[in-house]
Amino acid sequence: MYGGAAAAVFAPLDTLSRAEQVERRLTDAIVLGLIPADEQLPGEAELARLLGVSTMTVREALRALREADLIETRRGRHGGSFVKESRGIALQRIVARLLEMSTAQLRDLGDQYAALSGAAARLAARRATSVEVARLRRAHAEIVAASTEGARRRAESHLQIEIASVAQSPLLFRAEVGMQAELGPLLWLGAGHEEVLLHTAGLAGDVVEAIANGDGDKARALSEDRVVRWTAHLVELRLQGLETPRG
Amino acid sequence: MDDALAQLEEFVESTRAVVHEIAVTTTAALATTPQPRRADLVEIEPLIARILGEREETVHGGGFVAAPGLLEDAPWWLEWFAWDAGAVQRLVSETDPSGATFFDYTYMPWYSGPRDRTPARALTGPYVDYLCTDDYTLTVTEAVRRQDGSFAGVAGVDVRIFAVEERLLVTLRDSGRVLVLVNELGRVTVSATAQLLSGDLVEDLDIPAMFEAGDERLTRIAGSELGLLDLGPR
């Protein structure tokens, strides 16, 4: 069913309202397309085990997702919770989350992610073999070939994951997966815009070629630049969402 | 040096033996029916559970990865199990090609190696295994064939690099030489020198060419993709 980066969606949660966290995690996964429409979610007991929460908590979160029209519950032998085709609704929720954040918070998250992806790109340039370069080029080709905004976001996410894995550092890799799980929906909201995508897709090709040439400094600078542009677009979206005060 | 070689050969051979056991079980399971389904692979799980129990310190996961189209009810399938939170768990992965996180494993060297090469096996890594463990891993695989000889997929196990290192480090350190375990691409697998660490590429020697030429400084381990590089006295 789900694997790789998506597995982070089902990683154990920390404190605060657990049902809300489960709800947010699953909302993020649906928006990101990690769990596509029509996909069946694991059963309540299985979800509870994967997320490390009680089945009561899972039930509460699923109820909220159902009310938000993100999933539907089918009865019968092949019954269970299924993801509904509801990207639009899910996206609104992510935008709502964006509007709750300060520009300073967004900048800070961008800084952290830029540092992470820059460091991973630099190490990848030093440690990539020809086999891995070929894999990175395939991941870049996915970005170029992607025909929908969702497909492009997923392809961008995939390339980031590949670069982190080529860096040969399990800790950096887990940090990348962790950041994508936490931040992914916001990040790809910033990356998903047509204009930003066209530009950063070009940059992605340059990052891959810098890694192929073993030019770590260039790979790092370009990789950071990609994240800076995504963040800048997120801040713009955040500012557009501000209501003008009356009077 | 000899101690290190003996230890490494034992490690490679014993790991291959375990993989072969999985291959034999899988071959037998596939032979029971002309059109195998997922349910026909049911014997793999207890076998992997036993192997993981017996070799907990080194083997982290294992199973069978089906060739696309082999199984009637799952065109892409990984019958794979691994230690997770103290229990043997089934690997949950996207096997629907239209799914967002679907991943075409036929490109992976642990899959294509046994399919395309003779002998039909591979020792892949070290690499960050993002399909299963998210850890720094060596994967040992062997081709599984159907009765008509057609390729059916690979049987394999994942080994944690850090477990291999733990067994080997003292031997390397006390050998009196600077010994580095490298793979065919020149990637350091285990070393007892801070100048070259696991994951680094050996830069000043052309390791692939040395493997090819049978360079005397490099001893291939049991015909595998790993070799022990001797960089002189400590």
Residue A187 · residue A226 · CB < 8 Å? no
Place of tokens 């809300």: A20
Taking contacts as CB-CB distances below 8 angstroms, the residues of chain A near B187 are: 127, 129, 168
Q: Which residues contact B228 (CB under 8 A, 6 or more apart)?
A: B1, B4, B5, B8, B179, B180, B181, B182, B218, B219, B221
Q: How far is A67 from chain B (nearest CA, A)?
A: 24
Nearest-Cα distance to chain A for B77, in Å, is 10
Whether omega for the bond prior to residue B109 falls within 30 degrees of 0, making it cis, is: no
Angle at the Cα of B49 (from B47 to B53), degrees rounded to 5?
120
Confidence of residue A11 (pLDDT cuts 50, 70, 90): very low
Say yes or no for a CB contact (<8 Å) between A3 and B201: no
Q: Tell me whether residues B128 and A161 touch, CB distance under 8 A.
A: no
Which DSSP string do the residues of A156-221 spell out, in sequence order? HHHHHHHHHHHTT-HHHHHHHHHHHHHHHHHHHHHHHSHHHHHHHHHHHHHHHHHHHTT-HHHHHH
Contact A127 B185 (CB under 8 A): no
In chain B, residues with a C-beta closer than 8 Å to the C-beta of A1 are 92-95
- Closest approach of chain B CAs to the CA of A4, in angstroms? 5
Pairing of strands B218-220, B226-233: antiparallel
B37-55 mean pLDDT: 94
CA distance A245 to A183: 29
pTM of the model: 0.76
Interface-testing mutation among B101, B128, B207, with chain A (most A C-beta atoms within 10 A): B101
| pLDDT, tens digit, 9 for 90 and up, residues A189-239 | 766 566 777 777 789 999 999 999 999 999 999 999 999 988 888 888 888
Mean pLDDT of the B16-22 span: 97
Q: Is B147 helix (H, G, I), strand (E, B) or coil?
A: coil
Q: Which of B94, B135, B201 sits opposite A3 (nearest CB)?
A: B94
| Nearest-angstrom CA–CA distance, A62 and A27 | 10
Cα A55 to Cα A51: distance, rounded to the nearest angstrom: 10
In this predicted structure, what is the pLDDT of residue A158? 85
Q: What is the pLDDT of residue A5?
A: 41
The verdict on a CB contact (< 8 Å) between A4 and B98 is no
Give chain A positions within 8 Å (CB) of B199.
127, 168-169
Residues of chain A within CATH 1.10.10.10 domain(s) are: 4-93
Eight-class DSSP state of B74:
B
> HSE on the CB side for B91, CA within 13 Å?
26
CATH topology of domain A102-240: Four Helix Bundle (Hemerythrin (Met), subunit A) (1.20.120)
CA distances from residue A165 to A49, A132, A174, B131 in whole angstroms, order as listed: 27, 9, 9, 11
Q: Are B79 and B70 in contact (CB under 8 A)?
A: no
Q: Mean pLDDT across chain B, nearest whole number?
A: 91
Task: Tell me if A168 and B128 make a contact (CB, 8 A cut-off).
Answer: yes
Verify whether the Cβ–Cβ distance A34 to B100 is below 8 Å.
yes
CATH 1.20.120.530 domain extents, chain A? 102-240
CATH 3.30.450.20 describes domain B2-160:
yes
- Residue B42 pLDDT exceeds 90: yes
Residue of A nearest to B202 (CA): A127
pLDDT at B28 over 80: yes
Minimal CA separation from B94 to chain A, in Å: 4
- Contact across the interface for B128 and A129, Cβ inside 8 Å: no
* Run of H or E including B231: strand B226-233
Chain A: give the shortest CA distance to residue B101, in Å. Answer: 6
The domains of chain B are located at 2-160, 163-233
Closest Cα to residue A180, out of A101, A113, A105? A113
Q: Which residues of B sit within 8 Å Cβ distance of A?
A: 91-96, 98-101, 103, 107, 109, 126-128, 130-131, 134-136, 185-187, 199-201
How many residues are listed for chain A in this entry? 247
The residue ranking higher by pLDDT, B208 or A180, is B208
Q: How far apart are CA A2 and CA B57, in angstroms?
A: 27
Residue of A nearest to B97 (CA): A1
- Contact check, Cβ <8 Å, B95/A1: yes
d(Cα A146, Cα B71) in Å, to the nearest integer? 29
Per-residue pLDDT reduced to its tens digit, A108-135: 889 999 999 999 999 999 999 988 999 8
What are the tens digits of pLDDT across the range B73-92? 888 999 999 887 678 888 87
Tokens 């891995």, located at residue: A132
CA atoms within 13 A on the CB side of B227: 24
pLDDT confidence of residue A15: 39
Strands B188-191 and B136-145: unpaired
| Beta strands per DSSP E along A6-139 | 71-74, 80-83
CB of A140 closer than 8 Å to CB of A124 = no
pLDDT > 50? residue B57 = yes
Q: Among partner residues B92, B131, B201, which is closest to A1 by beta-carbon distance?
A: B92
Lowest mean pLDDT among A9-18, A206-215, B219-228: A9-18
Q: Which residues of A touch B109 (CB under 8 A)?
A: 131
Query: What burial letters (b/e) apply to A17-30, b meaning 16+ CB within 10 Å?
Result: ebbebbbbbbbbbb
Work out the minimum CA distance from A221 to partner chain B, whole angstroms: 22
**CA geometry: angle at A8 spanning A7 and A14, to 5°?**
135
Of B98, B103, B201, the CB nearest to A129: B201
Residue range B90-141, pLDDT digits in tens: 887 767 666 656 678 898 899 999 999 999 999 999 998 877 667 899 999 9
Q: Do A4 and B136 touch (CB under 8 A)?
A: no
Cβ contacts of A135 on chain B, cutoff 8 Å = 107
Residues of A with CB under 8 A from a CB of B: 1-7, 32-36, 39, 126-127, 129-131, 135, 138, 154, 161, 164-165, 167-170, 173-174, 177
Fold held by A4-93: Arc Repressor Mutant, subunit A (1.10.10)
Place of tokens 């390791």: B207
Record: contact B93-A131, CB cut-off 8 A: no
